Amino acid sequence: MRKIFLLLTILSSYINAETSGDLDKTFATKGLYAEGTPFPQQTFLSLDTAVDSQGRILVLHAYETTNHYSIAVYRLLADGTKDNTYASIASQVDKFLIDGNFSIAIDANDGVFFGYSNYTCAAPNIDCQQDVFVRHFDNTGNLTGSQTIAFDLGNTYLRQNDVFADLVYIPDHYGHNTEMLAVAATVDYSNVYDTDFGVALMDVAPDGS
């Protein structure tokens, strides 16, 4: 009888134990967090995510407005509760570019870099080209820096599109005690209608800005 009881106890523990691939039931609602759009009948998108040193989840998201998408960052606490003390300033992106690449990276101080492409025009809707943009928010969500990366390698604006691909934060660049940000993009390098690739390496301040 004792052996049967012990076997049942082991089986019960095995059945109730979470296995690899199971949702973490302690996170949000049974392992899932979702949020609806603040604007009914408009699009609300999740673009990228990262986790900081405290286990908080940063979510890059976009929501549709009249003529563009606004992009910002949400932060969830480790238990899946939305961190309402964190509020990043929204960046506006043209509607036609929302299917492009977006990426975020966490710095050494739990700040956030995010990269994307948007149009730069000589005048409203005139001689428009895509450029790469990188923004940085500190660990409270305040904007601390913004940078435009324009490769602009073609000889006309039609051959100067630079399309953001990805970014990587480097906390200690080859032991030089310097924080760097590597940014990759699809660029127009030659004078024919094709595409090439480019990489920019940015030296960022000790606070990640």
Domain count, the chain: 1
Tell me, yes or no, whether 14 lies in a domain: no
- Which residues have C-beta within 8 Å of that of residue 173, sequence separation ≥ 6? 179, 180
Tell me, yes or no, whether 54 lies in a domain: yes
Residue 29, pLDDT score: 86
- Which residues have C-beta within 8 Å of that of residue 34, sequence separation ≥ 6? none
Tell me, yes or no, whether 25 lies in a domain: no
User: Does pLDDT of 149 surpass 50?
Assistant: yes
Mean pLDDT of the chain: 79
Tell me, yes or no, whether 119 lies in a domain: yes
Note down the domain range covering 193. Answer: 39-203
The one-letter amino acid code at 100 reads G
User: Does pLDDT of 131 surpass 70?
Assistant: yes
Rounded mean pLDDT, 148-153: 78
CATH number at residue 164: 2.120.10.10
Tell me, yes or no, whether 71 lies in a domain: yes
Tell me, yes or no, whether 62 lies in a domain: yes
CA–CA separation, 116 and 107 (whole Å):
17
- pLDDT tens digits for 159-175? 678 889 999 999 876 66
Q: What is the pTM of this model?
A: 0.78
Alpha-helical regions (H) of 101-204: none
- pLDDT tens digits for 66-117? 778 888 898 999 999 999 999 777 888 887 777 788 999 999 999 999 999 8
Residues paired with residue 58 on neighbouring β-strands, in sequence order: 50, 75
Tell me, yes or no, whether 151 lies in a domain: yes
Tell me, yes or no, whether 109 lies in a domain: yes
